[in-house]
Every structure is written in structure tokens, then in C-alpha cells.
Homo-oligomer: A and B are copies of this chain.
Amino acid sequence: MAAAAEVSNRRVTLKRHVTGFPTEADMEVVVAPAVAVPPGSRSVMLKNLYLSCDPYMRSRMSRHLEPSYVPDFVPGEVMATFGVSKVVASGHPDYQEGDLVWGMTACEEYTLVANPESLFKINHPELPLSYYTGVLGMPGLTAYAGFFEVAKPKKGDYVFVSAASGAVGQIVGQLAKITGCYVVGSAGSDEKVNLLKTKFGFDDAFNYKKEQDLNAALKRCFPEGIDIYFENVGGAMLDAVLLNMRNHGRIAVCGLISQYNLEQPEGVRNLFCIVAKRIRMEGFMVPEYFGNYRKFEEEMAGYLKEGKITYVEDVAEGIESVPAALIGLFYGRNVGKQLVAVARE
């Protein structure tokens, strides 16, 4: 694919490190020449098809004084992200031109990946390829590992999911139903609440923006209390959930998106409930579960084909739409998994 060296490569760079809410102006779409696979290297050149917009990327947009759990983006350089890509040139014997892969790539049209072993080959191209940014990719494995490995559900458990129509939440809710749990989700619009109830099979759902009192909302939805909280938001919701947990409840902490743009996080006051109810609250990060990916992929592909799990995506078109799509996550503008279609093949 000598041609790749000659095509131009549009990419999204971070212009400056961010404090508070990021804006589109903090990023820039620039044109750079695409680089070829260096002769003799084991790199691969990817043509990016679908790019994922994920809340954790907010952390990378800040400058951290101490090393963070993911490295900070470097101003002026392309922003890395998970994506679905096609191999268009390869110096690696295990990767051939035309292979479809998902994994860590970057917000640009073409990406040279020096360690293609980090990429996962796509075993189910008969399913929508974009699903490998979501239900069959990082968010799907996040939901699967967080729910089964961290929250450890039992049939009949009362499960609450926040940000429940998002990339991860919608899968957690459906996995919980498959497991025989009672599932309630919260989301930030009536449209999303409607999706939860009608499309994803949640037993109940509420629009947290319309509730005067989150504690009362949870008491209404869970008169018996909550066994499992799949935590995506933090802040006031976590404080209300703590009051409504049952003894030996489990809180799988996936993310705290409500806090990511605050100069100082909100204080959580009801932590004594952790003692009084003997709660286990545990954080996790999906890369530690990548070893389970093949098992997960087969199981999830099966659910999708059988119609046991459905997935809603919010697809923005074109590399130029990355900044707005990413920012939209923090305002809850996306309905379902946010991704950007850069190319279809």
C-alpha cells in the first residue's frame, strides 16, 4: 500500500490541555501526510473506519502533575482512541492487508501502529463492524467484566445502572436481565428513559434531571433496596445510592462521568453506609480483562445473533465530527454509544 504514503491524513489533535469542561476549540483538525510502514519494521498501517468516543478520554485531555492511570494527550499530537480499522499495509507476518481489527488507534484517517499485537482481529465481520467500538469492543467487555467479575450478580438481585443508555450501561442492563435480575436505569432525558424501558428491557427507569430527590427516586424504584450498583456517574447519585444499598451490596465502579469536568470533585458524604451495610465498592479497568476477550466476543456475538441483546449507537459522520462528538458525551448529547464513522470500508 505504497499509496498510503502519498495520501493526506486528516487527524484530530489536542490544541491545549484542558481544565473544566472541554470545548471543540480545545481540539483541531489538521492535515498531515500519512506515513508509510518503515521497511523492515513489524508495524501495520491502519485505515480507520470507526472511532470510539469514550468518557475516560477526558482525563487524557488534562495535564497531570503526577502520572495518571492513562497518559495525558500531548498538545499538537493526534489523540489516541479505540477504533475499528482495516489493515492496509503490514510489516508483521500475522497481519495481512485487508484484515479487520479493533484496538487502540488514533483520531485520524490512517494510523501507523508499531505494536499490532495489541490489536484484536475481528472474528464476526458479519455483525455491524461499528459494534467493535461498542458492544463487541472495549465498552462491551467493560460491561461484561464489571458486571460478572466485579459485581458478581446472582439471580434475583436488584441492580441499578446509572448512565444506563450509554455505551456500557445499556449492555449491563441487558446482561442483568439475562442473569435474572431486576434492573432499573437512570438517564438524562425522557428519550433515553424510553429507550431503556422499551428497547433494552429495563424493568424501570427514571430521568435523573427531573427528580427533585434522588434518594426518593431510588426508594420508589427499589423499595427492597439495591444489591448491585453499576456506577458510571458518581457525585450526588452515588450518595443517594449508598443510602439505598442492601446489606452486602456491591458497587462496581466503572466511571464517574459527572465529576470529570469539575475543578474539584463533589464530596460524597454517605460512606458510613459502607460499614453499616457491609458494602463492597470496587473499581476496575477493562484492559485487565483483555485476556477474557475471545470468550466474551463469542458469547456476545451469540446474544446479538439470537436477539437477546440489542445495541443503540449514535454515529457521527467524518473525522471532522470527532471534537463535537467527544464533547457531547459530557453534556449527555449522545443517545447510545457515541462513535464516529470515518470510512465505511
Q: List chain A positions with a Cβ less than 8 A from chain B.
A: 68-69, 234, 238, 253-256, 259, 264-285, 288
Closest to A238 in B: B271
User: How far apart sit A254 and B274, CA to CA, in the bound complex (Å)?
Assistant: 9
Q: Is the CB of B275 within 8 A of A284?
A: yes
Number of this chain's copies in the complex: 2
- Specify which of B255, B268, B270 is in contact with A275 (CB 8 Å cutoff): B255
Contacting residue for A269 out of B69, B265, B284, CB 8 A? B265
Residues of chain B within 8 A (CB-CB) of A238 are: 271
Distance between Cα atoms of A69 and B282 in the complex (Å): 22
- A-B contact list, 18 entries, CB within 8 Å: A238-B271, A253-B271, A253-B275, A254-B275, A256-B272, A265-B271, A265-B272, A268-B268, A274-B281, A274-B282, A274-B283, A275-B283, A276-B285, A278-B282, A278-B283, A278-B288, A281-B281, A281-B282
* Contact A272-B259, Cβ < 8 Å, known A267-B266, A267-B267: yes
- Shortest distance in angstroms between A66's beta carbon and chain B's nearest beta carbon? 9
Cβ 8 A contact of A256, one of B275, B277, B280: B275
Query: In the complex, which residue of chain B has the Cβ closest to the Cβ of A234?
Result: B271
Q: In the complex, A253→B284 CA distance in Å?
A: 19
- Is the Cβ of A277 less than 8 Å from the Cβ of B234? no
Q: A271-B256, A281-B281 are in contact. Are A69 and B276 (CB under 8 A)?
A: yes
Q: How far is it, in angstroms, between the C-alpha of A281 and the C-alpha of B264 when the chains are bound?
A: 22
- Nearest CB in chain B to that of A70: its residue: B276
- Selected from B269, B275, B277, the residue in CB contact (under 8 A) with A267 is B269
Q: Which residues of B contact A255 (CB under 8 A)?
A: 275
With the chains together, A62 CA to B68 CA distance in Å?
42
Q: How far, in whole Å, are A265 and B69 apart by their CA atoms in the complex?
A: 29
CB neighbours (8 Å) of A234 from chain B are: 271-272
Expressed in whole angstroms, the Cα–Cα distance for A259 and B288 within the complex equals 35
A284 to B242, CA, bound (A): 15
Chain B residues near A283 (CB-CB < 8 A):
273-280
